[in-house]
Amino acid sequence: CLFAFHSPACDFVKPDPRRHVQRITIHHWQLRDLLLCPENKKEVVFPYQNNVIQYCCQVRRAFYELPTFPFRQPMCSLFGSCGYLAVGGQRSELVVRDLHGNWAVTTTTGGSINNGVSIAETNGEKRLMVSNNDETIKVFSVPSMHLIDNLCLPTAVNGVTVSPDGRHMIAVGDSNEVFVFNITNSGEYVHTASLCASKDSNFSCSWSQNSDKFAVASQDGTVNVWDVRSTIPLYTLGTKQSPNAKGATRCVKFSTSGAVDLLAYTEHVSYVNIVDARNFSTQQVLRVSPSHLDYHITGMAFAPDSRSLLVGLENSVLEYPVETSARRRFPIGSLL
């Protein structure tokens, strides 16, 4: 099933955002997942030059600036989860920091650009997955930083994500393939399938909160959604500006909690698409820049309670309230 921006319209978020004037630095023209809302619904994390800023949307100030990261080269990726923040650099630099304490480690992973970092809990163990341009996924235990596995793929790896139930992992990279892994009870990664749907490289992937679906964003301006039990996409979603290069999809995220059930994805510039993740039949298209200008989008994140959608630009963070009450109203006879 394929639809683009002409599907029935619906307002999932209120169209007038709260604007926070902050600068976010893009260091790689294709890697645009640079805005986090890891734990507190009112706090966001993002890179500025060679530092990482933690900003409170409620009081409108950067109340805590993480110590300067020892990167002489630009930061390319960051991720926060399980109480940790990880940042990857252009020359394999890696910094991991405890968000609730003073522990931090600085190292290099070897290889090339750390295109993506991800943190998840597997069988009670917190693990860091580092996606590298050298065609590997390096898996570390946190906080010991013991190297658990070094998974080799046939392409440069741009992103990895583990399902919330900890049973599956998907990886995407500089090909149109999506690499699917099962995670065994002993914590091993077993490659089970390589899926294809897009015509170009993939840069972002996300799991639904109940682990039954995953979505992949591609350079060709599509987002493909799979059921975890199928090798054929359930839906192929388009963008406002496709097939123009401006319509390349850069970042895709499912809502993270509650009965909101939304899927959002960004275009290279100016537009964010929000889709009903229950039936994928309706969507809302947000223009995040003036009609006469194009703004580069640096990243996007749902708040942990899914009550707001945060969109990063190079000169600001936009905070969109989600219409949660409308999303929690189900037709008579339907089940949550």
What average pLDDT does this structure show over 71-93? Answer: 87
d(CA 302, CA 327): 15
The CATH code for residues 2-327 is 2.130.10.10
φ and ψ at residue 17, rounded to 5 degrees: -85, 160
pLDDT of residue 42: 85
pLDDT at residue 259 greater than cutoff 50 = yes
Hey, which of 85-99, 208-222, 254-268, 315-329 has the most confident mean pLDDT?
208-222
Higher pLDDT: 260 or 179? It is 179
Q: What percent of the chain has pLDDT over 70?
A: 91
Task: Tokens for 71, please give them.
Answer: 């990167």
Higher pLDDT: 206 or 42? It is 206
pLDDT at residue 4 greater than cutoff 50 = no
Distance, CA of 326 to chain centre: 25
Task: Tokens for 213, please give them.
Answer: 């679906």
* Exposed/middle/buried for residue 179 (C-beta within 10 Å: 0-12, 13-18, 19+): buried
Sheet hosting strand 271-276, strand order edge to edge: 249-254, 262-267, 271-276, 283-287
What tens digit of pLDDT does each residue of 280-328 get? Answer: 989 999 999 999 999 999 999 999 999 999 999 999 999 999 987 777 6
C-alpha distances out from residue 311 to 264, 282, 286, 336, Å: 10, 20, 10, 28
* Exposed/middle/buried for residue 332 (C-beta within 10 Å: 0-12, 13-18, 19+): exposed
What tens digit of pLDDT does each residue of 156-177 get? Answer: 999 999 999 999 999 999 999 9
pLDDT at residue 331 greater than cutoff 50 = no
Q: What is the pTM of this model?
A: 0.91
pLDDT at residue 68 greater than cutoff 70 = no
pLDDT at residue 222 greater than cutoff 70 = yes
Higher pLDDT: 333 or 24? It is 24
Higher pLDDT: 17 or 73? It is 17
User: What is the phi-psi region of residue 261: left when phi exceeds 0, alpha when psi lies from -120 to 50, beta otherwise?
Assistant: left
pLDDT at residue 330 greater than cutoff 60 = no
